[in-house]
Amino acid sequence: MSLDLDKRHRAMLREMGVRVWLPMSAPPAAEAVVEAAVAVAPQEAMPAAAPAVREAPPPVRTAPAPARPPVAAPQAVAREAAAPASTSGAWSMGAAQALYAEAAHAEGARWLVLAETPAAALQREPFNPFEGEAGKLLDNMLRAARLNKAGVVLLAPLVRGAAAGGGAALPEALPALLASAQPDVVLVMGRLAAQALLQSSEPFGKLRGQVHALHGAQTVVTYDATYLLRNSSDKAKAWDDLCLAMSRVATPAAS
């Protein structure tokens, strides 16, 4: 009994080691056909597996980095930190008026008092520096320093911001007043006013206790009367400042 195998089946069996006998009646050419089929069969019977195709991973989307604020240059930061909190351009000066003129002595010292004053007080006409509780305290302080027996005592109110009632911009008005008054000593009363006039951002405690030069004039700074009404514990420090100012009148600085 012979199997009815076609060429492909015979080639597969031969590759597996199974010998297939052809019938005797098969022509010799059939053997050649089988051998040829065997040579081709491996590629046809067992095709090579197609290489696996790897899909490219989907692109990873990252959120854009938040924008950073620009960093100021170190030089700009240093200049900003060194700038004083209050500049003289933000201040106004009221008209100067003479104090204790009836008791002035021709040989007495010449004083210029620059007092930090509330804007509301300067709006009242005429301006009276000795009005109210703060005015009484100011009068007592100046009399204790014997300014009521000095030669000339001028007081000019300083107001932060634009002053009403004829106030003038401080940068222009102050040099003119100093040139006309020719004071022996200038007494600046008020922390903010002192920092503005001296163009300094140093703490007020460092500005006190020393003599400054304001357009060439000896200058001492102290607390204003309104502040001392709220902080009576600093009255002793204010007296020390007045004593320093009086000492500069007795012993003027060498030019």
**pLDDT tens for each residue of 81-123:** 333 444 555 899 999 999 999 888 888 999 999 999 998 888 8
Q: Which residue type occupies 127?
A: F
Q: Residue 57's pLDDT is what?
A: 56
pLDDT of the residue at 89: 56
| pLDDT for position 131 | 93
- In single-letter form, the type of residue at position 126 comes to P
How many angstroms separate the CA atoms of 179 and 137, rounded? 29
Q: Using alpha carbons only, what angle is made at residue 172 by residues 168 and 177, rounded to the nearest 5 degrees?
A: 85
Which pLDDT does position 144 carry in this prediction?
95
Q: What is the pLDDT of residues 64-74, one digit of tens each?
A: 555 554 444 43
The average confidence (pLDDT) of the chain is 77
Q: What is the pLDDT of residue 120?
A: 85
- Count CB-CB contacts under 10 A for residue 92: 22
CB 207 within 8 A of CB 194: yes
Over 80: is that where the pLDDT of 128 sits?
yes
The fraction of the chain above a pLDDT of 70, given in percent, is 62
The string of pLDDT tens digits covering residues 206-235 is 999 999 999 999 999 999 999 999 999 999
Dist CA 182 CA 176 (whole Å): 10
Name the CA dihedral angle for 110, 180, 129, 84, rounded to a multiple of 10 degrees: -100
The band of 169, judged by pLDDT with boundaries at 50, 70 and 90, is: confident
The backbone torsions φ and ψ at residue 95, rounded to the nearest 5 degrees and listed phi first, read: -65, 140
pLDDT band at 170 (very low <50, low <70, confident <90, very high): confident
Better pLDDT: 118 or 252: 118
**Residue that has been written with the tokens 């492909």 in this structure:** 8
What pLDDT does residue 58 have? 57
Domain edges within the chain: 7-43, 88-250
Sign of CA dihedral 192, 193, 199, 203: negative
User: Checking phi first, is residue 161 left (phi over 0); if not, alpha (psi -120 to 50) or beta?
Assistant: left
| Predicted TM-score (pTM) of this structure | 0.64
DSSP string computed for 166-224: S-EEHHHHHHHHHHHH--SEEEEE-HHHHHHHHT--S-HHHHTTS-EEETTEEEEEE--
Q: Is the domain 88-250 a CATH 3.30.160.270 member? A: no
pLDDT beyond 50 at 151? yes
pLDDT recorded at residue 56: 55
How would residue 142 be classed by pLDDT, with cut points 50, 70 and 90?
Answer: very high
Nearby residues of 246 by Cβ (< 8 Å), 6 or more positions away: 145, 146
Collapsed DSSP state (helix, strand, coil) of residue 118? coil
